[in-house]
Chains A and B, each alone.
Chain A
Amino acid sequence: MPSVFKLRVTWLWLMLIVATIVSWEFGHGLGFGDNYRLSTSAVVIIAFIKARMVILDFMEIRHAPRALRFMLEGWTVAVAATLLIIYWQSA
């Protein structure tokens, strides 16, 4: 096992923390002018990108049987898309 700092999961953890800070900022005014809907969409999309990162490299689904990877990646896409559609329809 190489040094912790050379492991992919460590870089991933750092990226997840940065993504959390970015999405927190989107929840606090950072965004696209007055269009808070785009900021909220960014929050939802970042959350599911984070979920996919955990799935692929923490859960090690990158190397799992294809069917399982398909189900889990499908989960992120389907849930994110459904949430965004419901959100945008309530205009």
Chain B
Amino acid sequence: MSDHAEHRPPHLPGETGVWVFILGDMLMFAAFFIVFMSYRSEDVALYVNSQHTLNQHFGALNTFFMLTSSWCVALAVEAGRAGWQARAQTWLLGAMACALCFVGVKFFEYSEKIAAGFTLTTNDFFMYYFMLTGLHLMHVLLGLGVLCYLWFSLRATPSAASMRTLESGASFWHMVDILWIVLFALLYLLR
């Protein structure tokens, strides 16, 4: 099942600077998750009732797209490492397609909510819902730009530097996936 040797020297996937950014972002979101949970605990009924108005199928569908795009990116890194640039590009296209589906579902979901009269100012739950998913969506859009950049960078002759770039972008994209996994649980599934 594993294609890796069990023992190999430690390897940082990507640039150090990118990891500083990723860790900072994860800390910021950790604070948001905790603030959300604290305010929720002060008015559970409001949060639960508001949450019932969300369409959970959208949340689950977007989790599927996010996990699948992350998988495609992991495969692109494997292919890039094996020196198969064209195959890596194909997997990146798959990842971008999933990311675009995520964005499409999100806009559909937003427009449905806004049409039903739910906005940022409806109540605390919807303020957090729009703020957290909106901030995450900005990361997805930034990530889409990163995936495009990686696709173009794979046209160059493979080198240690280009592999490092691929790993940096991939690590950022996986972080966007991780944040969505937690947001899906907090916003759609808590009872």
Q: Which of chain A's residues have a CB closer than 8 A to the CB of B99?
A: none
Q: A20-B64, A27-B189 are in contact. Are A64 and B12 (CB under 8 A)?
A: yes
Whether A64 pairs with B60 at a CB distance below 8 angstroms is no
Q: Is B74 an interface residue (CB 8 A)?
A: yes
Question: Cα distance A63–B41 when bound, in Å?
Answer: 38
B60 touches A20 (CB 8 A): yes
The answer to whether B89 has its CB under 8 Å from any CB of chain A is no
Q: Which residue of A lies closest to B57 (CB)?
A: A24
Interface size, chain A (Cβ < 8 Å): 53
A79 to B33, CA, bound (A): 8
Interface residues of A, dominant DSSP: helix
Which A48-64 residues have a C-beta within 8 angstroms of B? 48, 50-51, 54-55, 57-61, 63-64
B16 to chain A, nearest CB (A): 10
Complex CA–CA separation, A68 to B74 (angstroms): 19
What B residues does A16 contact at CB under 8 A? 67, 71
**Residues in A whose Cβ lies below 8 Å from that of B131:** none
Tell me which of B12, B71, B191 contacts A27 (CB under 8 A).
Answer: B191
A88's closest neighbor in chain B, by CB?
B41
Residue of B37, B178, B186 with most partner-chain A CB within 10 A = B178
State how many angstroms separate the Cβ of A35 from the closest Cβ of chain B.
Answer: 10
Which of B1-9, B107-115, B140-148, B151-159 binds A? B1-9
Q: Contact at B1–A90, with CB atoms within 8 Å? A: no
Let me know if B37 and A87 touch, CB within 8 A: yes
A residues engaging B (CB < 8 A)? Answer: 1-2, 4, 6-13, 16-17, 20, 23-24, 26-28, 36-37, 39-40, 43-44, 46-48, 50-51, 54-55, 57-61, 63-66, 68, 71-72, 75, 78-79, 82-83, 86-87, 89-90
Residues of B within 8 A of A (CB): 1-4, 8, 10-13, 19, 23, 26-27, 30, 33-34, 37-38, 40-42, 44, 56, 60, 63-64, 67-68, 70-71, 73-75, 77-79, 81-82, 84, 87, 167, 170-171, 174-175, 177-178, 181-182, 184-186, 188-191
14 contacts between A and B (CB under 8 A): A1-B79, A1-B87, A4-B75, A13-B67, A23-B185, A24-B60, A51-B182, A55-B178, A58-B74, A59-B13, A61-B13, A64-B10, A86-B38, A87-B41
The 3 closest A-B pairs by CB, nearest first: A90-B41, A27-B189, A47-B185
